[in-house]
């Protein structure tokens, strides 16, 4: 990967967990932490997106959650399925609170007393949890295509679920196969109204595989953390942090009702929805999404 001047890589520690992170932009910008979703690496936030945020006055950091990318993989830890976690929550090796602690460790490593949080999908859940448990570390909260509870808006249509299982069940043993899987998944869950660049999406899939191919067990552990972490709405009702909730109206993975539930739970939260947006961040919407994030930060 080619880095512009001012970009840096580092590692944060949270107990035995090591978190790989990257920063964009010079010190002095408004600190902003990007938190990614289930089974995807920090690369899901493209470099162009990070630089666009820098141009708006932010210093940006992105990181690999535990069990993804160059961060610690808990190989050998239990990887329970959904049903197992429902009947025996203790089977999950960690919870969202632990993943929020990982994010705090990244803030500490960066020397940031607080930051603007932007989380997508699982990353939105982690950001919500961080705002609940560590409110002094959060300047603003932006929760994108996420939910306040594992059971709200998270069941795809059966046809979509079968297609996801078919794609994810195909063996991936090379960077090229990882690129093909990324493109196939984007076609399935991405934004139906907006085109996407297959080469860009494939490149992210390929580079992710080259960094670390990932494992089904790692994905399962992240999903288990969501399943056992409960309903956050009562705790979110006590949050007094400026909050923005963004959601696609055509999201097939975490449906719009989940975004509405998130906004309803947090006092003063602003909900913005986008017709034709699925479970991704289409490039055509970047100017509108980034303007919302910037406006929230300026209004703080």
Bridge partners of 62, per DSSP, are: 22, 34
Q: Is the pLDDT of residue 241 over 60?
A: yes
The answer to whether 248 touches 276, Cβ cutoff 8 Å, is yes
Residue identified by tokens 């400026």 is 242
pLDDT digits (tens, 9 = 90+) for 51-110: 999 999 999 999 999 999 999 999 999 999 888 988 899 999 999 999 999 999 999 999
φ, ψ at 251 (rounded to 5°): -75, 115
| Rounded Cα distance, 8 and 23, in Å | 5
Q: Is 246 exposed, middle or buried (0-12, 13-18, 19+ CB in 10 A)?
A: buried
How long, in residues, is the chain? 300
SS3 content of the chain, % helix, strand, coil (to 5): 45, 20, 35
Specify the pLDDT at position 86: 82
Structure token digits, residue 223: 């999903």
Per-residue pLDDT reduced to its tens digit, 172-201: 999 999 999 999 999 999 999 999 999 999
CA pair distance 121, 223, nearest whole angstrom: 11
Query: Helical H runs in the chain?
Result: 47-55, 82-87, 96-110, 122-133, 158-169, 175-189, 198-211, 216-228, 233-236, 256-265, 286-299
pLDDT at 2 over 80: no
- Place 209 in a pLDDT band, splitting at 50, 70 and 90: very high
Average pLDDT, the chain: 95
Q: Give the residue from 155, 153, 135 showing the smallest Cα distance to 266.
A: 135
**Whether pLDDT at 5 is above 50:** no
Q: What pLDDT was estimated at residue 170? A: 87
- b/e map of 85-99 (b: 16 or more CB within 10 Å)? beeeeebbbbbbebb
């Amino acid at each position: 990967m080619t880095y512009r001047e001012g970009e840096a890589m580092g590692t944060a520690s949270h107990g035995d967990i090591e978190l790989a992170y990257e920063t964009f932009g010079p010190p002095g910008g408004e600190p902003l932490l990007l938190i990614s979703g289930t089974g995807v690496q920090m690369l899901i936030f493209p470099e162009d997106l990070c630089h666009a945020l820098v141009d708006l006055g932010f210093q940006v950091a992105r990181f690999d959650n535990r069990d993804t990318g160059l961060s610690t993989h808990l190989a050998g830890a239990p990887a329970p399925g959904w049903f197992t976690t429902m009947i025996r929550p203790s089977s999950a090796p960690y919870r969202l609170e632990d993943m929020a602690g990982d994010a705090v460790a990244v803030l500490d490593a960066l020397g940031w007393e607080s930051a603007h949080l932007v989380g997508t999908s699982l990353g939105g859940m982690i950001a919500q949890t961080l705002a609940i448990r560590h409110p002094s570390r959060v300047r603003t909260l932006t929760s994108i295509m996420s939910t306040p509870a594992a059971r709200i808006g998270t069941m795809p249509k059966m046809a979509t679920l079968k297609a996801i299982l078919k794609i994810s069940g195909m063996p991936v043993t090379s960077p090229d196969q990882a690129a093909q899987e990324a493109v196939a998944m984007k076609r399935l869950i991405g934004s139906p109204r907006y085109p996407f660049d297959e080469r860009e999406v494939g490149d992210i899939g390929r580079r992710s595989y080259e960094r670390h191919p990932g494992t089904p067990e790692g994905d399962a552990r992240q999903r288990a953390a969501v399943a056992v972490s409960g309903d956050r709405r009562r705790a979110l009702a006590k949050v007094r942090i400026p909050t923005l909730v963004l959601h696609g109206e055509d999201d097939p993975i975490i449906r719009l009702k989940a975004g509405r539930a998130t906004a309803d739970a947090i006092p003063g939260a602003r909900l913005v929805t986008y017709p034709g947006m699925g479970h991704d961040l289409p490039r055509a919407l970047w100017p509108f999404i980034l303007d919302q994030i910037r406006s929230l930060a300026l209004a703080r």
